[in-house]
Amino acid sequence: MTTVLLIIHMMIAAALVGVVLLQRSEGGALGIGGGGGFMTGRGAANFLTRVTASLAAAFFATSLLLTVIASRSMAPGSIFDRPAGTPSAPSAPASEPTQPSAPPAGRGGILDQLQPSAPTAPSVPQSK
């Protein structure tokens, strides 16, 4: 369904560009239909205006339909719909001595190669 609607949308866009370029140019714009020849006169201008308006309405409608179809296929993204975070590991009982666990292995970068040092007390100069 989406593919068919997208193809129709692209065809409408191409037709809209073509119809806009066929309209009579006023003041040196990009229109090809500035001179005489194909579709001249007031009746043709009214026809091209109506075709442009109908193609623009169809382009707008297909854009809205494609947006609605795309939004229905996506999962809801609200953070309120997710369950609250739970602790990853249960805490150890107080009677057992706890040992510091090793940090998780990284990807082998330079920061992973540095050895963690024991925290030292800051040195304070002695005043005499």
Q: Where are the domains of the chain?
A: 2-24+36-75
Q: How far apart are CA 52 and CA 58, in angstroms?
A: 10
Token pair of 16, please? 């809209």
pLDDT at 10: 97
Q: Could you report the per-residue pLDDT of 53-81, keeping only the tens digit for each? A: 999 999 999 999 999 998 887 766 667 76
Residue-level pLDDT at 100: 57
Distance CA 117, CA 105 (A): 17
55 C-beta neighbours (distance < 10 Å), count: 19
- Number of helices and strands (H, E) in the chain? 3, 0
Predicted local confidence at residue 41, as pLDDT: 57
